Amino acid sequence: MPILLLEDGTIHSDLVDIAHQLSPLGINLKHYEPSTPLFFSDLLSQEILTDKEKNYILEIHDSLFEYLKNEGSYLWSDLLSVHPGLPDLDTLIATYNHYHIHTAPEALYMLAGEMVFGFVRPDGSQVQLLIQAQDYIHIPARVEHWIRPAASLHCKAVRYFTTVDGWMPHYTGTQISNFLRKQR
């Protein structure tokens, strides 16, 4: 389940409270618990997956994708697999670990591990959101945010796309607040 940290130090762990806090940004946050085969967890714990294994994981989540496709106009999905041995891990983290926007929605469903998002709210305050396995997040286009894997550097997520170049970051120059910087 997600956890939200406000700039004043308040922590929210109730999904309804978190959704309320993020509603001015239009962010959709849900927790799904689809049924999966028993050996699926073995695949999620592997650092490196073959293309066949990645496709299998995507096939397992095809029914969720079909549901989300109707809700968010997604055209395709892929599997993001982050681990400490990933080539160019530092580049990946550096690319998205600064405030930016996208021209298309950003949506993902966490399968394993954790990711951390930072958002700038309309009043200028900043919040930090931890999402975990079985959490789904949809960030509308042009919502200012950053993202990075949690400290373990292990996560797997299905990413959902509406355009080819929609996930390219456009940096805003906003600095991460001192309070949130200390929490990282």
Write the DSSP string, 113-139: EEEEEEEE-TTS-EEEEEEETTEEEEE
What percent of the chain clears pLDDT 70, i.e. is strictly above it? 85
pLDDT of residue 179: 72
Mean pLDDT of 17-39: 81
- How many angstroms separate the CA atoms of 80 and 89, rounded? 12
Of 126-130, 158-162, 177-181, which gets the smallest average pLDDT?
177-181
Q: Which domain holds residue 135?
A: 3-183
Q: For the chain, what is the mean pLDDT?
A: 84
What is the average per-residue pLDDT within 32-41?
Answer: 57
What CATH number does residue 145 fall under? 2.60.120.10
**Contact 148/97 with Cβ under 8 angstroms?**
yes
Please tell me which residue, 109 or 76, carries the higher pLDDT value: 109
Counting the structural domains of the chain, the total is 1
pLDDT top residue among 122 and 62: 122
Question: How many angstroms from the chain centroid is the CA of residue 87?
Answer: 20
pLDDT at 4 over 70: yes
Average pLDDT over residues 103-119: 91
pLDDT at 61 over 80: no
pLDDT band for position 5 (cuts 50, 70, 90): very high
